[in-house]
Structure 1
Amino acid sequence: MSAGRASSAALGSRGRDPVRALQHALYRAAKADPGRRFHALMDKVCRRDVLRRAWVAVRNNDGAPGIDKTTLAEVEEYGIDRLLGELVDELEMRWYRPLLARRAGLRQSRL
């Protein structure tokens, strides 16, 4: 996304879309200093509105089950708000431990 599009999108959504405003602020900080390292992003990931936006993106994309084999239907049956609330709690308490991802089709080349 170009800087102009990002800027106009964020300006039009101030107050109405806090996730978009956060994205825009991070974008501006990264563009202003390309060498900048972002060390404290956990507080942004733990936000319920950010996790909700991620869920909507996964749902709209018909996301496939991950390593835990949990389907979208199972998440919806369990309760999206319930799951996101538990995830926020686990992230904030540093209890969340993702399952190891399987490596498929990746082979290291030998030089």
Structure 2
Amino acid sequence: MNTDELQHALYVAERRVLNIQTKLHRWARDDSHRRFDDLYNLVAHPGFLLVAWDRVRGNKGSRTAGVDGRTARSVEAGQGVEDFLGGLRSQLKDRSFRPLPVRERMIPKAGGKLRRLGIATVTDRVVQASLKLVL
């Protein structure tokens, strides 16, 4: 997929995600007792995954690899975004997706102490971003 096609697909996906988010908000506002039973399918929706990918790829942490050693740039260069998201979607749909452990690093605090920083894999970050878009 060339960049113009990807940009157009991203634009369409962002519009679709916004429409779904607006609808969910309206339903929740109009009926405070409404149950939302099928939100998991939205997490695996191609539009939500594409928007989530764009957000993960665009943040500063995308240059940092998780325990699997992959960054957003390495996914783009190697497997390709379309194949990556397609595989992730199929894992989510058949419920075989399992997050990997985070890579831990100790970073210094202002007082001279250290704190733990957990670095999730790119795949886990995309799923988290998709969940955030839904919720």
TM over 0.5: yes
Distance 1:84 1:41 in 2: 18
* 1:83 alignment partner AA: F
Partner of 2:48: 50
State the number of aligned residues: 90
Where in structure 2 are the equivalents of 1:20-35 lying within 5 Å?
Answer: 20-34=18-32
CA contact (8 A) 2:49 2:85 kept: yes
Aligned to 1:79: 80
- Matched residues, percent identical? 37
Q: How far did 1:30 drift?
A: 2.6
**Bigger fraction of residues in strand:** 2
Deviates more, 1:51-60 or 1:63-72: 63-72
CA offset digits 1:26-66 (Å, max 9, x no partner): 22223334465533211111111110011111122233334
**What TM-score, normalized to structure 1?**
0.65
Please tell me whether the aligned partners of residues 19 and 49 of structure 1 are also in contact (alpha carbons under 8 angstroms). yes
Higher relative contact order (CA 8 A, sep 6+): 2
